[in-house]
Chains A and B, each alone.
Chain A
Amino acid sequence: MPQPSSLKAGYNFAYLDEQTKRMIRRAILKAVAIPGYQVPFGSREMPLPYGWGTGGIQVTAGIIGPDDTLKVIDQGADDTTNAVSIRRFFANTAGVATTEQTEDATIIQTRHRIPETPLQAGQILVYQVPIPEPLRWLEPRETETRKMHALQEYGIMYVRLYEDISRYGHISTAYDYPVMVNGRYLMRPSPIPKFDNPKMDRNPALQLFGAGREKRIYAVPPYTSVKSLDFKDYPFQVQKWDDCCTLCGADDSFLDEIITDDAGGRMFVCSDSDYCAKRRDAGHSGPNPGEAATKKIGEAGDAA
């Protein structure tokens, strides 16, 4: 493979060796062929710890080419430690272009969010997955959960929703909300808020999921049906806020709550930093754009 000039010396393209990337690609092909099915793969040691996105990084390394443009988000933001270091990792080891613009990216690696800007055909969304098995919380045996998938024994998953309703009066599960893919496999969408679940359904982009520690890859091909589990009398619903984004005024995006002082002061801002910035560039503004901007940057700085 021709090596781009910006590549750091000593690394193979995209860090992993070619055999490993082929192995990952084979797993991805199988995953795409069986939407929602968890394909085992030989997850490698990566130069950052498990839980920092090693599954997503390996999937990205397997599919990225020199012409790709990479965007990495963590909780919707491009500027958090995890996002910055993964973006830098691929800039160094693959020499690819990076971006914070959702529509410019060919590959978007994400932790815990789907961008607000609708994805397009040809884009690939790579999710970092901590625990891929949706049945794990009730069934500890892997042999048994595999059998349950094979035989589509998914009744047990509704037990969790039942418990939510009997305890809280509604389905309180707010993230990592189980979905049925293509009417066949039950899937964990990774810890995205259930607000994002509807975006997975019939999405034009290819969605790939990598779990490094658990050594599993799974996929939702473009335009595949993804349905959130629910009861007929307790239908699936997404979160709603009374407020809009303090910075850009958006009332259709997923909002993070930020505590501003010790006196109970708080504000809500878009979790998708790219979406928020674009709205502000286009002239939208929220109730208090100035103050909030400094707070938001301060937050991010502290986290780093």
Chain B
Amino acid sequence: MTALMDQDQPLLRVSSVTKYYDLMIGCRNVSFDLWPGEVLGIVGESGSGKSTLLNCLSTRLEPNSGAIEYNTRASGLVDLFTMSEAERRMLMRTDWGFVHQNPRDGLRMGVSAGANIGERMMAVGARVYGDIRESAAHWLGRVEFDIDRMDHLPSTFSGGMQQRVQIARNLAVNPRLIFMDEPTGGLDVSVQARLLDLLRELVGDLGLSAIVVTHDLAVARLLSHRLMVMRNGEVVESGLTDQVLDDPQHPYTQLLVSSILQV
């Protein structure tokens, strides 16, 4: 993976984030810093709180307590939940991407692949059709999508192709941070391998920071620099990805690692 950017401030600073659903714990007391160019994997089984945490980080859910600060281009670290909604949504349009497990959640199925990518550019003010189209073609090319099909509807594509379009859509505005929720979850193994390699390459080449939620430790090993292991809403272990996987300290991490099926 490419050189980590040498910067003095983290891109995202998460302090004691807690989210309850009524009396149920979503996630509790999660803290970490994400630095520019870093890919953080969050692993854990279903119900471990990793999706709740991702939704809090991406401001889809508001935590009950704790702070999430983002290093904005204009004014440095700002608490996301003290921003106005307008500022927050602007940030999501310009600085962030979100790759959903199911491409249907991240794409407009009723408009063409090209328009799906163009929308992100038009949302930040692009008003020259020729430029928008050229840029859409460029990003579709980057995700190895057949340009001849850019005017077709996503519903006519395979799952792997839809996922490529979703990724291109997220990259089109040159974001700094991408959230990914099981980005290769519903795909065939062969498609998954190719897509993982592509994601790895793109994240590296573009110097993106990313937070990847997955229950697949192999995906985490391939994509992330650092790993957080969650269980019952809490982070039980975190560290360098290969260290957590090769020398797990917490009983639960040891159990997870020893449960991987060998091919």
Contacts and interface: CB of A to CB of B under 8 A. Distances in A.
Interface of A: 138, 147, 150-151, 153, 155-156, 158-159, 161-163, 165-167, 231-234
Contacts of A231: 127-129, 132
A167 B151 contact: yes
The main secondary structure of chain A at its interface with chain B is helix
A163 B89 contact: no
A33 B149 CA distance: 47
Given A158-B127, A163-B112, 20 more contacts: A138-B110, A147-B85, A151-B89, A153-B93, A155-B120, A155-B122, A155-B123, A156-B119, A156-B122, A159-B111, A159-B119, A162-B114, A162-B115, A162-B118, A166-B112, A231-B127, A231-B129, A232-B128, A232-B129, A234-B129
A98 to B, nearest CB: 44
24 contacts: A138-B110, A147-B85, A151-B86, A155-B93, A155-B119, A155-B120, A155-B125, A156-B119, A158-B118, A158-B127, A159-B119, A159-B122, A162-B115, A162-B119, A162-B122, A162-B132, A163-B112, A166-B112, A166-B114, A166-B151, A231-B132, A233-B128, A233-B129, A234-B129
A234 B110 CA distance: 23
Contacts of A167: 151
A155 B122 CA distance: 5
Would you list the 5 A-B pairs with minimal beta carbon distance, nearest first?
A155-B123, A155-B122, A158-B122, A231-B129, A232-B128
The interface centre, meaning the residue of A153, A156, A161, A162 with most chain B CB atoms within 10 A of its CB, is: A162
A85 B203 CA distance: 65
A166 B112 CA distance: 9
Contacts of A147: 85
A65 B96 CA distance: 55
A157 to B, nearest CB: 8
Given A159-B118, A162-B118, A232 B112 contact: no
Contacts, number: 63
B138 interface: no
B22 to A, nearest CB: 23
A231 B90 CA distance: 22
Nearest to B88: A151
B177 to A, nearest CB: 20
Interface in B115-164: 115, 118-125, 127-130, 132-133, 151
Contacts of B124: 155
Contacts of B123: 153, 155-156
A147 B90 CA distance: 13
B160 to A, nearest CB: 23
A232 to B, nearest CB: 5
A163 B122 contact: no
B108 interface: yes
Contacts of B90: 151
A156 B123 CA distance: 6
B122 A151 contact: no
A232 B125 CA distance: 12
A161 to B, nearest CB: 8
A204 B85 CA distance: 37
B87 to A, nearest CB: 10
A48 to B, nearest CB: 33
A147 B84 CA distance: 13
Contacts of B125: 155
Contacts of B85: 147, 151
A163 B123 CA distance: 15
A153 B122 contact: no
A267 B242 CA distance: 78
A296 to B, nearest CB: 40
A232 B127 contact: yes
Contacts of B133: 162, 166
Contacts of A159: 108, 111, 115, 118-119, 122
Contact of A163 (B115, B120, B121): B115
A234 B131 CA distance: 12
Contacts of B132: 162, 231
Contact of B129 (A138, A156, A162): A162
Contact of A165 (B119, B127, B129): B129
